[in-house]
A and B are shown apart, each in its own frame.
Chain A
Amino acid sequence: MQTSIHDSHFILRRLHSLFGLIPIGGFLVLHIWENGQSHLGAEYFNYYVAQPIMHTTYLLIIEIVVIALPLLFHAGYGLVIIGSGSAEPFRYRYRRNWLYWLQRVSGVAIVAFLALHIGLTRVAAWLDPAIYQDLFGYMQQSLTQPVTLVVYLLGLWLSVFHLSNGLATAAIAWGLTTNAAAQRRFGYVCLLIGVILGSLGTHALIGFLP
């Protein structure tokens, strides 16, 4: 009998779950916190938030190894997992079943949002390095268009939902919460985490508006 560490299916599933939390989940929290400093004004943001990031050593390697690759793996394998299930949210209208379904819907939506988000920021800045000189101004210009703002708000709340619900399911998968009562309790903790992260992110987005 093969043991678990030789079983690629098991290892892939666990890596998918782990990557969702660290580094991707961790990065999302950091990213929301960073952008919360939008409230401190254009000068502060450009000087203390944008510049230090741009001048981080090994930035490209960190971005690729810590963010891009894990995200690509999580998203790619996530799509495979979505293909293997058949959610029936209207036949079984239970809360967890809706969360199961929304976890999949939000996953697909996040792929679309991230393509747009990365396109508008990272890729745009590659093409036009001047954007980084006044990142705040660029974001302000972007977000004053109502469509962009709504898309960003949606992307934010879907990502935050996906992370906090993922935290609750990861806790079951890894065996942190074993019985039904603990799973319910931790579910509320995750809800609270989600609401806090979502509010911080919304606050950050508002901070960019004139």
Chain B
Amino acid sequence: MTTQPPDVVPESADLILNRDPLLAFELGNDDSLPASSIDQIDLKIRRQDDPFSKPYWQQFRLPCQGKETITALLRKLRNQPVTIDGETVDPVAFDHNCMEEVCGACAILINGKPRMACSALIEEFNGMITLEPLSKFPIIRDLIVDRSRMFAHLKRVKAWITLDGTWETQQPPLRMSPHDVAVNYLYSRCMYCGCCMAACPQYDENQEFVGPATLAQVRLLNHHPLGQYEKTERLHRIMTVGGLSDCGNAQNCVRVCPKEIPLTTAIGELGRAVTWQLFKDLFGD
């Protein structure tokens, strides 16, 4: 691809516009990846039988290839759930769906950090791989967590667009500049996996903070041609308990987001929008 993103577009736009590395990888002629020679791997998995029981650890040894993903490994394990001590146990429960890092279902902690299991290759890790359920969310079973509070957060900040309104819906769509489209596209790729929430020191079950991904959706919708009509309401909804000012700028979110969504840029831009809104609320429009 020759198209270059405009200067101001965050770096991750490269990922959309430049697919060469991906193609090379798929065709199997990417020299940057070492030939994989791993033939077996040890997995240490934190298990929990139900939401209320105690977690415990189990270890497994599985045949594998370096280019396999963690999800592939978990699927293999499901067929033969035998621990390293030879004990046959209940298969490990885990979430997955798209297998191409777009649905957000398979987020877990791999070696302590939030990752998508379907895009984490075994050869990226050395030695035993530790799998735990995604932190900050209630555990349902084994690696499956309940992320419904993320949906509640989206509702809370009005992360949608009202189609029925005082304007004509059959009007031609409002125009956006290609630059704005490119920037908004970055945010629209959020798959609500929860990795950023898991890594955020300000986000957890006992806090009201709506979390970085939710804030990024406010940024997205407030710049949407139709969404902008409810901009003020969304800003007001993040100018309260659990809103923008509960962010402590640790910026872990942007480091762990598998889609490289410019979360800290969203937070900075919202900071400015919220400051303006404060002045408007104080002194009138």
Contact in complex: A7, B265 (CB < 8 Å):
no
Q: Which of B246, B262, B272 contacts A175 (CB 8 A)?
A: B272
Contact in complex: B10, A180 (CB < 8 Å):
yes
Contact in complex: B265, A10 (CB < 8 Å):
no
B273 proximity list for chain A (CB < 8 A): 175
A58 within 8 A of partner (CB): no
Known A-B contacts A7-B240, A87-B201; A180 and B265 likewise in contact (beta carbons under 8 Å): yes
* A169 CA / B244 CA spacing, docked (Å): 13
| Chain B interface residue number, banded | 35 or more
A145 within 8 A of partner (CB): no
A175 proximity list for chain B (CB < 8 A): 268-276
Q: Mark B265-285, 1 if CB is under 8 A from A, else 0.
A: 101111111111110011000
B255 within 8 A of partner (CB): yes
A172 within 8 A of partner (CB): yes
Most chain A beta carbons < 10 A, residue from B233, B255, B273, B276: B255
Contact in complex: B278, A4 (CB < 8 Å):
yes
* A172 CA / B255 CA spacing, docked (Å): 17
Contact in complex: A96, B240 (CB < 8 Å):
no
26 contacts across the A-B interface (CB closer than 8 A)? A1-B236, A2-B236, A2-B240, A4-B278, A4-B281, A5-B282, A13-B245, A14-B278, A84-B202, A84-B246, A85-B201, A92-B199, A92-B255, A97-B250, A97-B255, A100-B201, A100-B251, A168-B249, A173-B271, A175-B270, A178-B271, A179-B8, A179-B10, A180-B10, A180-B264, A180-B268
Task: Taking A81-B248, A172-B267, A180-B254 as given, write out 18 further A-B residue pairs in contact, using a Cβ cutoff of 8 Å, ordered by the A residue number.
Answer: A1-B237, A3-B281, A4-B235, A4-B240, A5-B278, A10-B243, A92-B113, A94-B251, A96-B252, A97-B252, A168-B249, A169-B248, A172-B249, A173-B249, A175-B273, A178-B272, A179-B10, A179-B269
Interface residue ranges, A against B (CB under 8 Å): 1-5, 7, 9-10, 13-14, 17, 81, 84-88, 91-92, 94, 96-97, 99-101, 103, 168-169, 172-180, 182-183
